[in-house]
Amino acid sequence: MLKQIFGQLSLPVLDPLGIVTALADRREKRRDARRLRTGAIAQLRRDLLAFGASEQLDLFAAVLPSADRELLVPTHDFCRTVASEWTDQQIVALCDGIIRASLEGLRGFKDPARRRELLTWFAPSSDPDETLSFAFCCRIAGLDPEPIYTSVWHQFKAEIRGYLEEDRAPADTHEHQDDFLFA
């Protein structure tokens, strides 16, 4: 019975010190993950309150085509509601949903601009402390971003290389220069 329990925990059965050490390591990793998640959720709440109270939402809406404004721009009320009324579990579910929807979007979207935006979001070079960046969402969702980075790279390597080559090439038109500024 004891051997079966320890076998399920993937712990060494014969070395009691090894068992205690492995349990302590697992407990420490869980504590670290919880601490990081709690800090990230607090940061998200602060940022959403500041974002919802600012004019940034209006500026963001001004650059979108009118048909997309209602779908893509969060309202001041939404930001305040998420920041002040949502539970931690709801915020975790939101970040998990963002990651899942983005991964599904890579499979489903055919529009090159949208695909490029998604691949840029998954890039390991993005700021991990920026609110709702990929690494930030992973921290809240309790996921390790490294295996996902690796998987995205392997699946979309040719496409990513193509975008990198485009970025390195000198811009020939004004339109491409604008794209470069926002990339």
Q: Write the DSSP assignment of 150-183 as a string of letters.
A: HHHHHHHHHHHHHHHHHHHSPP-SHHHHHHHHH-
Q: What is the pTM of this model?
A: 0.65
CA pair distance 4, 34, nearest whole angstrom: 28
pLDDT digits 0-9 by tens, 88-134: 999 999 999 999 999 998 888 888 888 888 888 888 877 788 888 89
Give the pLDDT of residue 172. 53
DSSP secondary structure letter of residue 54: S
Using alpha carbons, select from 90, 3, 106 the residue that is nearest to residue 41.
90
Summary mean pLDDT of the chain: 77
Residues 6+ apart with CB under 8 A from 70: none
Better-scored residue on pLDDT, 30 or 15: 30
